[in-house]
Amino acid sequence: MSVVNALVEIFQKSGFMSLSWQNWVMILVSFGLLYLAIVKKFEPLLLLPIAFGMLLVNIYPDIMADPLMMSSYEGTVDPNAHWYDAGVLRLIYAGVKSSIFPCLIFLAVGAMTDFGPLLANPVSLLLGAAAQLGIYVAFLIAIATKFLTFIPNFEPFDALEAAAIAIIGGADGPTAIWLTSKLAPQLLGPIAVAAYSYMALIPLIQPPIMKLLTTKKEREIKMDQLRTVSKAEKIIFPIVVTVLCVLILPSVAPLLGMLMLGNLFRESGVTDRLSDTAQNALCNIVTILLGVTVGATAEGKTFLDFKTIAIIIIGLLAFAFSTAGGVLFAKLLNVITKGKINPLIGSAGVSAVPMAARVSQVEGRKYNPSNFLLMHAMGPNVAGVIGSAVAAGFLLMTFGN
Amino acid sequence: MLNTLLTLAERKYISFGEALNISITGIVVVMLVLAFLAVLVLLLSKSIRAVEGAAKKKSSAKAVSANAEEKTSAPSKPAGTALPESASAGDLNLYNVDEKTAAVIMAIVSNESGIPLNRLLFKSIKAIENKG
C-alpha cells in the first residue's frame, strides 16, 4: 500500500467525510455557546460543558452510540452488543435518563440554598407560584401546534410532549430533565438544551420584559430590611415542606425530597461535612456529567428538525411568560401593600437560582443605586424551585402512567 | 375534576379547550399549594418566635436574678428589653455630620452588612473634607 493510498483511506474514514451538514451546523452552534460561556461569561459552569458535549457528539457521533437502544429512539438493536459497547457519553447519560443526576443536583441546590429570605417574607411563595405561568402558556402553545399541520413533515406535539415542553417555563433544568424523561424521553435532548441554554441566557431574556412591565417609579422602590430568621425556623421548614408537598403531590417526592434533604444538611448544623460535599464536590461532579451528556444529546442529524425549532421557540416564550407572570403578580402585591414591594423581584420567581435573583438586583440598582434587592429576590427565587417542582408533580400526576 | 383530567390524559391528542382546562387547574393547584405553604410558614414562624421569646425571657430573668445575688456595691447596667431591629443603642459622636445623614449612613451599613441595627454599635461618624 502506497503512502498516498493510506492517506486517502485515512481521509475517507475521517470525520470530514462522515459528518452531515447538520453536524457542521451544530458544531457552529457549539462554538457560539462556547463564546458566550468563555468570553461573555453567561453561566459558564453550565454552558461550557453543554457546549463541549455538543461539539464532541457532532465531531464524533459514536461517542453517544447506543447499540442496545437503551435510550435512543432511532436505529436498530445489535443483538451481539454488550452494554459496554455503548459510547462513553451514552453510558454516563444513564444518570440523566434514570433521573439520578437531576435528583443529585437538587440535593446540591438544597445544600446551597438559604431559605431565610423566604421564611422572613412568606409572600415570596406566591411570587414563586405566579412565575410558573409560562409553564401553562407553553403547554397551550405546544397543544396549539396541531393547527400547524400545513407545514410539510411537521407532526404536532401530543399531550405528553406538550407537558414535557411546558416545564421549560419553570426555568429549572433538573426538573425539566426529570419530567421529560418520564413523559416524553424522545424529546429529552432538545428540551434539556433549551432549558439550560435559556437559564444561562436569563440576563439577556428577563431585563427587557421587566422594563416593559414596570414603571421607573416602581423600579426605584426600596424595600424594608428583612427580619432575622431563627435557626429553629430554618430547620423545621424543610421537614414541613417535605411532609406537606409530598402528601399533596406524591410524585414530587424524588425532587423535592432531595432538595429539602440537602437543605436540612445545611441548616441542621450537625452534618457540615455532608453539606460541604453536596455543595461543592458532588455538585461539581454531577454538573460536569450532566452538562456534557445533555449537550451530547444535540447530535445534528436527530436534533435539527422542525420539532426542535418549535421547542426552542416555545421554550423562549415560556421563559418570557414566567417572567411576566412574576413581575405582574409583584405589581399586584405592590398595590396591595401600598408601595412596599419592588415589582422587579417578581421576575426572580422563575426558579433559575441564583441567576434570576441576580438579575433583579442588577436591574434594581440601575434605577436606584442605593437599592439592594438581592435578598428580597432570593425569596421568590427559592420559592420558584418549589413552585416548578409542584407544577412538574401536577403534570406528572395528570399525564403520567 | 382530576379524574376528568386523568381520563383526558389517556388520549394522545387533546383539544385546545381541554388543554386550557388543564392549564387553569395547574396554575390554581400551584397557587393553592404555595399559598397554603405561605400560611403554614407564617404560623410556624410566629409560634417558633413565641416559644423562643418565652425561653429567652425566662433565661434572661434567671440571669438577672443570679446577677442580683452576686451584686456587691458596684452599679450594673440596666437589663432592659431587647431593642427592635430598626433601633440602635449607645452614644454616637457626630463630627460635621447632621443627624439625618448619620441615620442614612447607619441604615446603609446595616443593609450592606445584613446585620440589624440593634446589633451594631456606632461610636462616631466623621465627615472627611476633600482637600483636593
* pLDDT tens, residue by residue, B30-65: 999 999 999 999 998 888 888 888 888 888 777 777
> Is residue A386 less than 8 Å (CB to CB) from chain B?
yes
- The answer to whether the Cβ–Cβ distance between A245 and B14 falls below 8 Å is no
Q: How confident is the model at residue A318 (pLDDT cuts 50, 70, 90)?
A: very high
List the single best residue of A115, A160, A225 to mutate versus B (max B Cβ within 10 A): A225
User: Bridge-partner residues for A285, per DSSP?
Assistant: none
> Is residue A112 less than 8 Å (CB to CB) from chain B?
no
Which residues from chain A sit within 8 angstroms of residue B114, using beta carbons? 375
What are the domain boundaries of chain A?
96-399
* pLDDT tens, residue by residue, A375-389: 899 999 999 999 999
- The answer to whether the Cβ–Cβ distance between B12 and A159 falls below 8 Å is yes
- The answer to whether the Cβ–Cβ distance between B33 and A249 falls below 8 Å is yes
List the single best residue of A167, A233, A386 to mutate versus B (max B Cβ within 10 A): A233
List the single best residue of B21, B28, B33 to mutate versus A (max A Cβ within 10 A): B33
Tell me, what DSSP letter sits at residue A370? T
Cell of B23: 392549564
- The answer to whether the Cβ–Cβ distance between B26 and A236 falls below 8 Å is no
Q: Mean pLDDT over residues A361-371, rounded?
A: 90
What are the domain boundaries of chain B?
2-70, 83-132
Q: How confident is the model at residue B125 (pLDDT cuts 50, 70, 90)?
A: confident
- The answer to whether the Cβ–Cβ distance between A244 and B36 falls below 8 Å is yes
Give the dihedral sign, CA B4/B9/B15/B17: positive
Q: Mean pLDDT over residues B94-122, rounded?
A: 80
SS3 at position A229: coil
CA dist A165 and A158 (Å) reads 10
SS (H, E, C) chain B: CHHHHHHHHCCCCCCHHHHHHHHHHHHHHHHHHHHHHHHHHHHHHHHHHHHHHHHHHHHHHHHHHHHHHHCCCCCCCCCCCCCCCCCCCCCCEEECCCHHHHHHHHHHHHHHHCCCHHHCCCCEEECCCCCC
Which residues from chain A sit within 8 angstroms of residue B19, using beta carbons? 139-140, 143-144, 159, 162
